[in-house]
Amino acid sequence: MRFVAPGPGGSPQRVLIYSHDTFGLGHLRRARAIAHALVAEAPERRVVILSGSPVSHAFRFASGVTCRRLPGVTKLASGEYRSLGAGHHLDEVVATRAALIRHVAERFDPDLFLVDKEPAGFHGEVLPALHRLKARGCRLVLGLRDVLDDPDLLAPEWERKGALAVLPLYDSLWIYGLEQIYAPLDGLALPAGIADRLTYTGYLRREAPEAADGDEAAEEPFLLVTPGGGGDGVELVEAVVRAYEAQPLEHRALVVFGPFFPAAEQAALGARIAAHPRLASLDFDARLERLMRRAAGVVAMGGYNTFCEILSFDRPALILPRVRPRREQLIRARAAARLGLVGVIEPGADDETTRMAEALAALPHRPPPSARPIPGLLDGLPAIRRLAAADAAACVAAE
């Protein structure tokens, strides 16, 4: 029997998802996976995603899911932000984004508002909508990835942003991971009662279309090298290319740069890749899942979405985590390596090129993540569907 998610008064549930998207692809891809899971279970649901990603147009969205673009901002290497639009001051862009968020929230009138990662939104832009929707009886949920940052860095950041003071507005906090792997809010002085609102969902399983009959059998095995969005992926790709240049390796490698990979560095690395018989590259593939499912192994930086894909497609993986400006990827990589889910090369390793070449040669022969089964590891999307249905029922009961 098909499930119908009721909103107040018995109408189909309306879900608004906010994804600030100042850097990379992770937030939009997570929001999209959740939105698609919600409408797959209940086609009557309507989901609107508010995203600041400049490449949101490159992604397809399921029937019932709409993506509204917010004016773009980007993070600089210094950690500061600026507008993507020429001639616009950051405060003007934030004001425009806040007004658009408020306008969509009022017109769409959601039953559930899911805010990704930033409790107050980028520079507090989501606060006006939060207060208005709270007054209307909308359920407010903060969704957090498994790792945010080192607690010693996260605590002052959230204090500066006023994030802790915003938490009591939220009815629930969903953490897209498992507590036994990492507890992202440990070490923070949470307001009273917030710990009781936490639910660990498990990681978000990803899907990919099946290959045509015979495609995979005829394909030479390859390693997929993905720096995600690519904005901070130069060191990863450089390490792989240098290893292939230094030593003969059995498996060919396919580098997918990502839409934000710096242009000059991509041109230089692209020329070296084109000159090597065992290397190839793509600029960007919005359906990277298809490539990952076919790969003999994955080389990545260890962002949240890539980690979910590695688990979902059960690929042997080698992680080279980023450590600036956040330690998120390093924390996740260490936790996953401790459980035997992935291999890791941390920054600053001695004789890095030789170690990298050896790790690449061994990668296809690593045990996949499923060799270390963890109960509930990939139960995130079913858990979110159950939680969304419970929130819908709570709205009906409150009427």
Residues 156-167: pLDDT tens digits? 999 999 999 999
In the chain, what is the straight-line distance between the N-terminal and C-terminal CA atoms, in Å? Answer: 26
Question: Domain containing 141: what range?
Answer: 8-205+378-398
Contact 329, 321 (CB under 8 A): yes
Average pLDDT of the segment spanning 120-139:
96
Same domain, 299 and 392: no
The reply to whether 329 and 227 lie within a common domain is yes
Looking at residues 220-248, what average pLDDT do you find?
A: 94
174 & 225 share domain:
no
367 and 382 in a common domain: no
* Residue 63, in any domain of the structure: yes
**Within a domain: 85:** yes
Per-residue confidence at 210, pLDDT binned at 50, 70, 90? low
Q: Does 168 lie in the same domain as 301?
A: no
- Has residue 2 been placed in a domain? no
Residue 88 Cα distances to 50, 91, 92, 122, 169, angstroms: 20, 8, 7, 16, 31
169 and 91 in one domain?
A: yes
pLDDT at 55: 79
pLDDT at position 1, please? 28
Q: What per-residue confidence (pLDDT) applies to 11?
A: 81
291-to-56, 98, 380 alpha-carbon distances in Å: 20, 37, 23
Indicate if 155 and 88 belong to the same structural domain. yes
Is 291 within the bounds of a domain?
yes
Q: Please report whether residue 135 resides in a domain.
A: yes
The model's pLDDT over 97-128, given as tens digits with 9 standing for 90+, comes to: 999 999 999 999 999 999 999 999 999 999 99
pLDDT at residue 67 in the model: 94
Return the residue matching tokens 């189909």: 12
Which residues, in sequence order, are CB contacts of 81 under 8 Å at separation 6+? 22, 73, 74, 75, 90, 122, 123
As a whole number of angstroms, the distance between CA 366 and CA 355 comes to: 15
31 in the same domain as 180: yes
* Residue 1 belongs to some domain of the structure: no
| Residue 2 binned pLDDT confidence (cut-offs 50, 70, 90) | very low
Q: Are residues 179 and 244 in the same domain?
A: no
Average pLDDT over residues 256-260: 92
Residue 139's domain is classified under what CATH number?
Answer: 3.40.50.2000
| pLDDT value, residue 332 | 97
More confident residue, 237 or 326: 237
113 in Cβ contact with 170 (< 8 Å): no
Verify that 14 and 82 share a domain, yes or no.
yes
210 within a domain of the structure (yes/no): no
What are the pLDDT digits (tens) for 27-60? Answer: 888 999 999 999 999 999 999 999 988 878 888 8
Do 365 and 382 lie in one domain? The reply is: no
Give the Cα separation of 303 and 317 in Å (integer): 13
Q: Is residue 357 part of a domain?
A: yes
Q: Domain total for the chain?
A: 2
The sheet with strand 198-200 has its strands ordered as: 65-69, 46-51, 14-19, 112-116, 139-145, 172-176, 198-200
Q: Please state, for a pLDDT cut of 70, what percent of the chain lies above it.
A: 88
* Residue carrying structure tokens 């994030």: 163
Q: What is the pLDDT of residue 364?
A: 97
Task: Provide the pLDDT for residue 91.
Answer: 87
Q: Are residues 188 and 251 in the same domain?
A: no
Question: In degrees, to the nearest 5, what angle opens at C-alpha 171 toward C-alphas 169 and 27?
Answer: 85
